[in-house]
Structure 1
């Protein structure tokens, strides 16, 4: 039975870690601070994207791929 408790604790910790990451991401987005280079591919984030979404951390292509991946889940 201890294995079940361990697995549950790991799952709870993972959920908590994901919540903290989401909160940090939201705070960053609300602050309006983005990046010059894409977090995914490292290429510069285009000026047009930066103008529309100052808090962007991904270039247009990587953001589109990210959103497509989330839709499939």
Structure 2
């Protein structure tokens, strides 16, 4: 998957003739974006900024968790949400 695939899917969704086609296109763009995120995490690549709050991920966290995509606080919140969601 490439950034081009995501952009193409999003553009198709944006210009789709009806609501169903737009929804399908947005779902595809979301899937492509999710796959890219998983691939980056599996390769050990994180993000420089938090996926949730947008703040920079501190260097100490990036060093400790190479594939971090959230700052410590947002990751803690996300983990708590996942526990509640999955019981």
* TM-score, normalized by the shorter chain, greater than 0.5: yes
**Count, aligned residues:** 66
**TM-score scaled by length of structure 1:** 0.65
Q: Computing the radius of gyration over CA atoms, which structure comes out larger, 1 or 2?
A: 1
Please list every run of 5 or more consecutive structure 2 residues that lacks an aligned counterpart in the other structure. 1-16
Partner of 1:29: 41
8 Å contact from structure 1 (residues 41, 62) kept in 2: no
**Please, what is the CA RMSD of the aligned residues?**
2.8
The ranges of structure 1 where at least 4 consecutive aligned residues each deviate by more than 2 angstroms after the TM superposition are 35-41, 43-50, 64-67
- Greater length-normalized contact order (CA 8 Å, ≥ 6 residues apart): 1
**TM-score scaled by length of structure 2:** 0.57
Q: How far 1:11 moved relative to its partner? A: 1.0
Please list every run of 5 or more consecutive structure 1 residues that lacks an aligned counterpart in the other structure. none
